[in-house]
Structure 1
């Protein structure tokens, strides 16, 4: 599986979605944040790429538009 910026994944049995915000194939690293974003932002997590690629990928749904 190719991991792309913007993909959303679940880690293990955690029901929380995480959005991929960066990928470094050479360094075997990627950076994730919880999705959806918290009101004041979400902390960034650095994870080994080989660990993250083993999990399911999801596409985030765009936030609902308020009128």
Structure 2
């Protein structure tokens, strides 16, 4: 098991939308309701309680960023580097 996977397992935590501005940051990876995929936060608007995310890992030629209400985030985690492993 790589160090990054160990860190990821130890540092997952349930996301609390009420304290989202304290914990959520650009570059954070999150899980969202109704999806098993991991997404990366690319922008946050705390006043509107909305963030913009993209699927992680992402392909450079694909630009599929979308907005999401913060209460749709279920888990915040560190981004895995599994896309580098074969």
- Name the structure 1 match of 2:36: 15
Say which of 25, 29, 32 aligns to 2:50: 29
Q: For structure 2, which runs of at least 5 residues remain unmatched after alignment?
A: 1-15, 17-22
- Name the structure 2 match of 1:44: 65
Greater share of residues in helix: 2
Distance 2:36 2:69 in 1: 19
**1:64 is aligned to 2:84:** yes
Distance 1:26 1:13 in 2: 25
Distance 2:55 2:31 in 1: 10
Q: Please report the RMSD computed on the Cα atoms of aligned residues, expressed in angstroms.
A: 2.0
The answer to whether the 8 A contact 1:19-1:34 is kept is yes
Distance 1:48 1:12 in 2: 11
CA deviation after TM superposition for structure 1 residue 39, in Å: 4.5
With the length of structure 2 as denominator, give the TM-score of the two structures: 0.61
With the length of structure 1 as denominator, give the TM-score of the two structures: 0.75
Q: For structure 1, which runs of at least 5 residues remain unmatched after alignment?
A: none
